[in-house]
Chains A and B, each alone.
Chain A
C-alpha cells in the first residue's frame, strides 16, 4: 500500500529515526574521547581501544561468549527447525497445542522468570543426579538454546508457510518418499531462513545478560555480564570503545542477512511470476 506521506508523518519518521540513532552515535563518538570522564571532551584518541585490547578479562569474556553463542546458534537452529517442521508440515498430532504454546511462550516470557526457573531447575537436578555439579558454560548454553530455539522456530515457520507446498507435492507425485522430499526439496529451500535463524540465535545469545547471570557460576563471565558489572558503577570510556566494536560487527552481520533475505524474496517473486505465466 503506497500513498502520499503527509508532512506530519514525515516529521514523525524523522524524529523517530533521530531518537533511535542519536544515542548510539553519541556513544560511538565518545569512544574516541581521550578524557577519562566520558562526557568531558578531551580530544580525539584511540586510547580506550588500546586499553581494551590489552585487557585479559575482556578477551576471556569475548571468547566465552562467542563459544556459547556458536554452540547455541547451531543447536537452536537444529531444534527450532525440527519444531517448525512439526508445527507447519505434520498436520495434527497428539500434544500439538501444548507444543505450540511451549514454542511461543519463551518469546514473551520475562527474562527474570526464565532465568530464575532454570537456575532452580539446575540446582534441583544437581541434588537429584549430581549434574550439573558446576554452573557455567554448559548451563548457560542450555538456557540459551531453550529460549533461542523458540525465535528460530517462529522464523522458520514463517518461511515454511510463505514458500507453500507446491514443489513438495510435485516431488511426491513424481514418486519421492516423504523423507526424500524433506531432504531434497524442503531443507535446501529453507537455507536462507536457516542462515537468518542461526544469526538471530547467535546475537540473542551474545546479547543476553539476565538469564546468563542467573545460571552462571563462579568464574564464568560472559561479555554482557562483564559489561554490566562495569557500567553499574557509572560511565566508562573503555565500555564505549567495546560498544562501538560490537555495534559495528552487528551492523555488518545484519546488513549481510538483510541482503540475503531480499535476494530470496526477489527469487520467490520471479518463481511465482514464472509459474503464473506458464499456468
Chain B
C-alpha cells in the first residue's frame, strides 16, 4: 500500500500530455509550417494530379466513369494504361478549339479595355488630395467586396431588351426599337470589364503611389512638356503595376463561367462555361479533365510571371 505513495523518479514518468507540450514547444516552428503546408498539399496540389490522371484515362461505364491507370492482373503483373485520345480530340474538334480562341479573344480585349480606362482612374486617385484619396480608394474597393454574382445581375437589368438603357434611349427618342444587347458578346465584354476593373486599378494605384514626384518636377524644370514627361518618365516606371493589373484581369477572365452564362446566354462560348457544362451534363470526365489541363497550360506562363512579380514586390518591401 505504501508503495503507491513513493515519489516517482523525476522526468522518467512524466504525464504524456506534458511531454507532448514540451515537444511542441521545442518544435513549434515545424508545427506552424506543417499545418498549412499539408493542408495545401492535400486539398490544393493533390487534386490537380488526380485531374491530370483522369485526363489520360478513357471513358468507361463505371463509377467513377473512367478507366484505371494502374491495374494488377491475376498473375500479379502491373499494367499502366495511358491514352492521349482526349487531348487529340480537343484539338481536332473545332468546338473546343474555337472556344479556346474565343475565350482568349474576350479576355485579351477586356484586359486592354480595363488598362486603357483603369490607368487614368488610378492616376487620378494618386493625384488627389489627402482628404479625397482614402474616400476614392474606398469607393473603388467597395464593389470589389460586393457580390460578384449580383454585379453581373445588375447588368442584366441594364442591358435587357426592356432594360434601363433601352427604355432610356426610347424615351429620349434616339431609337424606336430596343437594341439587342443582353445575350450578345458585347454584354460579355461589358460584364468582364465591369467586374475585373478593380483588379486593374488597385495594383496600378499601389505602384503609382510609390513613385517619386520629384522626377516629374525635375523633368518639368528641364523643359519637358507634361505629355512628354508622362510617356518618358511616369509610364515606364509603372510597368510593374501594368503587368500585375493585366495578369489579375486576364487570368481569371479567361476561365470565366458566370459572365458568359448569364450575359452571353447560349450565344457566347467561353471555355469555363464549356468545362462546367461538360462536367455537369455529359459527365464525360476524361474529356472535361483534358479541357481543364489545356486551360491550365494556357495560363501557366501568365501565372508564373505573376508569381515572379509578387516575389519581387515582397522582396522590395
Cα-based distance from A254 to B147 in the complex (angstroms) = 13
Q: Is B109 an interface residue (CB 8 A)?
A: no
Q: Are A120 and B50 in contact (CB under 8 A)?
A: yes
Report chain B residues within 8 Å CB of A120: 47, 50-51, 54, 64, 285, 289
Q: Is A99 an interface residue (CB 8 A)?
A: yes
Report chain B residues within 8 Å CB of A262: 134
Pick the contact of B149 from A4, A102, A121, A228 — CB < 8 Å?
A228
Interface of B is mostly: helix
Q: Are A5 and B124 in contact (CB under 8 A)?
A: yes
- Which stretch of A12-20, A44-52, A167-175 is in the interface? A12-20
Cα-based distance from A180 to B201 in the complex (angstroms) = 41
- Chain B, 127-156, contact with A by CB distance < 8 Å: what is the 0/1 string? 111100010101111110111111101111
Cα-based distance from A104 to B303 in the complex (angstroms) = 9
Pick the contact of A142 from B43, B256, B275 — CB < 8 Å?
B43
- Which stretch of B11-19, B28-36, B76-84 is in the interface? B28-36
Which range contains the number of A residues in contact with the other chain? 35 or more
Q: Are B275 and A24 in contact (CB under 8 A)?
A: no
Cα-based distance from A227 to B36 in the complex (angstroms) = 33
Which residues between 300 and 317 of chain B lie within 8 Å of chain A, taking CB atoms? 303, 306-307, 310-311, 314, 317
Pick the contact of A117 from B147, B208, B292 — CB < 8 Å?
B292
- Which stretch of A56-64, A206-214, A268-276 is in the interface? A206-214
Report chain B residues within 8 Å CB of A117: 47-48, 50-51, 292
Report chain A residues within 8 Å CB of B306: 104, 108
Count of residues in B whose CB is under 8 Å from the partner chain = 98
Q: Are B120 and A8 in contact (CB under 8 A)?
A: yes
Q: In the complex where A2-B127, A39-B163 touch, is A110 in contact with B150 (Cβ < 8 A)? A: no
Q: Are B139 and A112 in contact (CB under 8 A)?
A: no
Pick the contact of B147 from A105, A213, A250 — CB < 8 Å?
A250
Pick the contact of B125 from A13, A22, A118, A127 — CB < 8 Å?
A13
Q: Is B97 an interface residue (CB 8 A)?
A: no
- Chain A, 87-128, contact with B by CB distance < 8 Å: what is the 0/1 string? 000100101000111111110111111001111110110010
Q: Is B106 an interface residue (CB 8 A)?
A: no
Cα-based distance from A234 to B261 in the complex (angstroms) = 12
CB distance from B177 to the nearest CB of A (A): 16
- Which stretch of A66-74, A76-84, A129-137 is in the interface? A76-84
Q: Are A149 and B295 in contact (CB under 8 A)?
A: no
Q: Is B164 an interface residue (CB 8 A)?
A: yes
27 contacts between A and B (CB under 8 A): A1-B213, A2-B213, A16-B117, A16-B120, A23-B155, A26-B158, A99-B36, A100-B311, A101-B307, A108-B251, A108-B303, A109-B303, A116-B275, A120-B54, A121-B47, A149-B39, A158-B317, A161-B314, A210-B258, A224-B149, A227-B149, A227-B150, A227-B153, A231-B149, A240-B157, A247-B146, A250-B146
Kindly list 16 other residue pairs between chains A and B, CB separation below 8 angstroms, not including A90-B29, A99-B36: A10-B124, A13-B125, A21-B139, A23-B194, A27-B153, A27-B154, A30-B157, A102-B45, A105-B303, A112-B272, A146-B44, A149-B40, A227-B149, A234-B160, A235-B156, A254-B141
- Report B's interface with A, CB cutoff 8 A: 25, 28-29, 32-33, 35-37, 39-41, 43-48, 50-51, 54, 64, 117-118, 120-121, 123-130, 134, 136, 138-143, 145-151, 153-158, 160, 162-164, 167, 194, 197, 201, 208-209, 211-213, 216, 226, 247-248, 251-252, 254-258, 261-262, 272, 275-276, 279, 285, 288-289, 292, 295-296, 299, 303, 306-307, 310-311, 314, 317
